[in-house]
Amino acid sequence: MALTRDQMAQRVAGELQDGFYVNLGIGIPTLVANFINDDINVMLQSENGLLGMGPFPTEDEIDADMINAGKQTVTAVTGASIFSSAESFAMIRGGHVDLTVLGAFEVDTKGNIASYMIPGKLVKGMGGAMDLVAGADNIIVMMTHASKSGASKLLTQCTLPLTGAKCIRKVLTELAYLEIKDGKFHLLERAPGVSVDEIAELTEGELVIPDHVPEMQL
């Protein structure tokens, strides 16, 4: 079975380590926060200037001056810090954030990512995504493997305008966990009950399949 959005978030949460500073992009990546293991401490970075983002506020706690990068009202955890946008992007662009998780429309075997613009459709902007992909070493892209009509989003060459060039190494889809290396996708894990053939069928870019592909542990 393909993973649900929550299961995808659960799998990515498994990559978090105690003491990690993590930036979660808007959309599915935000769900990762719901699955952080109680045994570890993680600080969530919000690029509008908050390190140590907490849960949404209660009615009593709500404060117009406390928002996240999605412009949602949030709280700060104990030990949080607040700073300017320049400081925030110094953290991001200077490579200080341990893990960045973001969504995408397409990725390719060169590690390119397209995530902010579909020509002919509404262009709202890249926000902080170009900074995040250029600044981070450790990035996990969470995305659907193919379009509803079955067109692969894991390509030899991205067709949409790029958010970043040669910067992506890890991709989690509802079907598989993959690494991009040496100009190829390498299949690391498959979703429980999903066959290697199903994954290969929906992967347009060159795919390296090892003899044994373990099922994801959720």
Partner 1 sequence: MSGFNKVVNSYEDALEGLQDGMTVIAGGFGLCGIAENLIAEIKRKGTKELTIVSNNCGVDGFGLGVLLEDRQIKKMVSSYVGENQMFMDQLLDGSLEVELTPQGTLAEKMRAGGAGIPAFFTATGYGTAVGEGKEVKQFHGRNYILEESITGDFAIIKAWKADRYGNAIYRDTAMNFNPMAATAGKITVMEVEEIVEPGELEPCNIHTPGIYVDRLIQGTFEKRIEQRTLRAV
Shorter beta-carbon distance to partner 1: residue 46 or 173: 46
Q: Which of 12, 31, 50, 104 binds partner 1 (CB under 8 A)?
A: 50
Nearer to partner 1, 3 or 129 (CB): 129
Contact 154, 118 (CB under 8 A): no
Phi and psi, residue 102, nearest 5°: -145, 165
Q: Which letter does DSSP use for residue 21 in this model? A: E
The DSSP secondary-structure symbol of 178 reads E
The DSSP code sequence of 103-117 is E-SEEETTS-EE-S-
Do the beta carbons of residue 71 and residue 38 sit within 8 Å?
no
Binding flag, residue 125, partner 1 (CB under 8 A):
yes
Q: Does 71 bind partner 1 (CB under 8 A)?
A: yes
Of 13-21, 88-96, 144-152, 205-213: span binding partner 1 (CB under 8 A) = 88-96
Number of chain residues interacting with partner 1 (CB under 8 A): 52
Q: How far apart are CA 30 and CA 166, in angstroms?
A: 24
By annotation, the residues acting in catalysis are: 47
By the rule CB under 8 A, 108 interacts with partner 1: no
Chain residues in the site for partner 1 (CB under 8 A): 46-50, 55-59, 62-68, 70-74, 76, 82-86, 88-89, 92-93, 112, 117, 122-131, 134-135, 161-166
